Amino acid sequence: MIRNSRQRDAIRAAIANAGRPLLPQEIHKLAQQTAPKLGIATVYRNLQALQETGEINQVMIPGDSPRFELAQQPHHHHFKCTQCGEVTTLYACPGKLAELAPEGYQMHSHELTLYGYCGECADT
């Protein structure tokens, strides 16, 4: 099982070092730098296991495949580049969104995704 845990460490490190939500294919490519024999099926299996242990979260952007990020993070949102598809983490929040809820409703959480161009795509 040593080989398996090394592969899981590579997957975990790829997600942690990215600092933004990654697609399984991106995780695969990054983790292969430290675990060259890593297969995509193993990536999927470990993503499942890491979700079950609560180490990572699934990030769903409507219309996209699930991405994955570390679970232990402060409140944050995401920015998606509609040109290259990169999703970045934003640690800013407009707050006070509960004020938008209709009279008598109680908001308990919110999700927010910004769309536009990343720095690289905005330049071109």
For position 98 contacting Zn ion by CB under 5 A, the verdict is no
For position 49 contacting Zn ion by CB under 5 A, the verdict is no
CA angle 120, 123, 124 (to 5 degrees): 100
- Full DSSP string of 49-87: HHHHTTSEEEE--TTS--EEEESS--S-EEEEETTT--E
For position 121 contacting Zn ion by CB under 5 A, the verdict is yes
Query: Segment near Zn ion (CB under 5 A), from 2-10, 39-47, 55-63, 74-82?
Result: 74-82
For position 118 contacting Zn ion by CB under 5 A, the verdict is yes
For position 107 contacting Zn ion by CB under 5 A, the verdict is no
User: Which residues here bind Zn ion, judged by CB under 5 A?
Assistant: 81, 83-84, 93, 118, 121
